[in-house]
Structures are given as structure tokens and as C-alpha cells.
Amino acid sequence: MRRYWILLLACAILAVALESTAKANGTHATHTAYNGKLFIAYSSSPNPTPLAIDKRTITWLKHPTQPKQKIALVPIGYHTKPAVVRLSSDLAITIQQAPYKQESIKVLDSSKIHPSKKEQKRIAKEREEVLAIYKHNRKATYWTKPFAYPVKRVTITSPFGGARVFNGEVHSFHSGTDFRAPQGTPIYAVNDGVVVLAKDRFISGKSVVIDHGNGIYTTYFHNSKLLVRAGKFVRKGEKIALSGATGRVSGAHLHFGVVCNGVQIDPLDFIKQINALFGVSSSI
């Protein structure tokens, strides 16, 4: 604990130093960001300085409602430690730890916790497949309107970021948000985009992944029935699946996720920040 506070103090001192340097040079001050969240950078320059984080280049985009501004969607990884990170020569962020909790879950099918060697190969193959999808950054911008929620009645049963303890064993962190969705509940696309995956997978069950362009993907897991196929262009609010309890689950629900520039981030925080660009409040 003492080491943690010393690290935070060091980050704060470094942030102040960077901010002083930035002011002296007429550049941007240091901003605050959180692990597992989206950070949006802004620029009024026609040719803003390129940004990069964790060896990933972040593309500047047109602001959806402000023609003279540009934005950059910077995802902060869940496992990123508190630190001051320089995104460019004139922009730095102070990353702080978000207050995530631990969750204990009773999985219905215990074979999903300790898969066989054959199943492990399947899991690895499916993981490689989806990671390859997330690496692709489609230059088109399909999200020309605010994002919606994937269900009509919004009740959160498990938030993003909790350490997942399956049947007493810590396995991972919760990479999405779980919505209450009894068996057969209609699931809707949260914005326009192209379906890039629609299939049954070992962990996530019957899954849909939609590419919204600019490196933004939304994921819809554990469905009982898929209503779309890969390659289909879907509109915001279009029915894409029916909820279920497929894959590694404790019961019927929807696991909804967001991947931005190859990184899984808090989907509700993402929707809130993106919709604010349109002047829309998205509080639940």
C-alpha cells in the first residue's frame, strides 16, 4: 500500500513538472485519464501532432458536430498502472486507477472453467480470430449519430472491470457490462455498422461483433439466437439477436462490450463520452 501511494505521489510530481513545461512552451497541459476508460483528445489544428500509446498510433478524426475541431479516441488498457504517459510531444496524460471491484460468479457449466486440451485449442483459435478483427481499423465513419443501449429496458447486473472469480478461482477481469436480459430478449445494434462476426464461440457463446469504423467495435455475447450474418450492414436500433445463456455464464443475460483501437474499455463510459460529443446525455 505504501509503495502504491509513493507511486501516485511521484506521478503527481511528474504531472506538475510536465504541465509547467507545457505552459512554458505554449502547449497542452497534462490531463487525467483512468485505466479501462476512454480518453478523448481535442485539437483545433488542421494538422495535429500524431498521438501514440502502447506502441499504437491513434488517428485524429473529425469532430462529429464541430467542423473546426478534431478528436482522437485514446483507449487506456485495464492493466495500465498509474503513471504519466506522453501521447505526443505536446500532450501527456496522468493515468489513475479506477475503483473496480471483485465479483464471485457461479458458472452453470463447470467444463467452461476447466476446458479440455481440445477446447483450449478452440479457445485460442477463437481468440486469435477476434484479435485479428480488432486490429483492423476501417477508415469509414458509420457512427454519425449518438450511440444507443443494446436493450430497451436498461438494468445493469454486472459493471465493467470487476475481477472475475469463477467458482472460487480468479480467472480474468470483466471486459464488458452485463445487462439484465431474460431468455429471448431482443438485442439491438447500438449504432450503424458492419457485422464482422456472428457465430457460436466457446466462452462467449453465440456472439455478434459490429464494426462501426475508426477502430470502434461493439460486442454482444451469450445470445440464444443470432439474427444477422457476417458482412451485413446494420442500422442503429436494428434487432441483431435474442438473449440467452450460451458460453460461460451463470444465467441468461447480455454481455455488451466496446473495443476501441484494439483495447477493451468500459462500454458505458464510452457511450457517455461519445454521446457528449453530440450534446446528448447518456446517464442510466
Same domain? For 190 and 66 the reply is no
- What integer is the mean pLDDT of 124-134? 96
Q: What are phi and psi of 33, to 5 degrees?
A: -140, 165
The radius of gyration of the chain from alpha carbons, rounded to an integer in Å, stands at 20
Element (H, E) at 210: strand 205-213
- 240-251 pLDDT, tens digit per residue, is 999 999 998 989
Provide the H-helix boundaries in the chain. Answer: 2-25, 117-135, 267-277
In a domain, 3, yes or no: no
- 144-175 pLDDT, tens digit per residue, is 999 999 999 999 999 999 876 555 544 578 99
Sole residue written with cell 485524429: 60
Nearest-5° Cα angle at 145, 182 to 34:
75
Domain region containing 79: 31-96
Say how far apart CA 171 and CA 216 lie, in whole Å. Answer: 26
Same domain? For 227 and 88 the reply is no
**How many domains would you assign to the chain?**
2
In a domain, 168, yes or no: yes
**pTM (2 d.p.):** 0.85
In a domain, 178, yes or no: yes
Same domain? For 133 and 266 the reply is yes
Q: What is the CATH number of the domain that holds 86?
A: 2.60.40
Same domain? For 204 and 241 the reply is yes
Point out the domain boundary residue: 96, 116, 148.
96
- 215-244 pLDDT, tens digit per residue, is 999 999 999 999 999 999 999 999 999 999
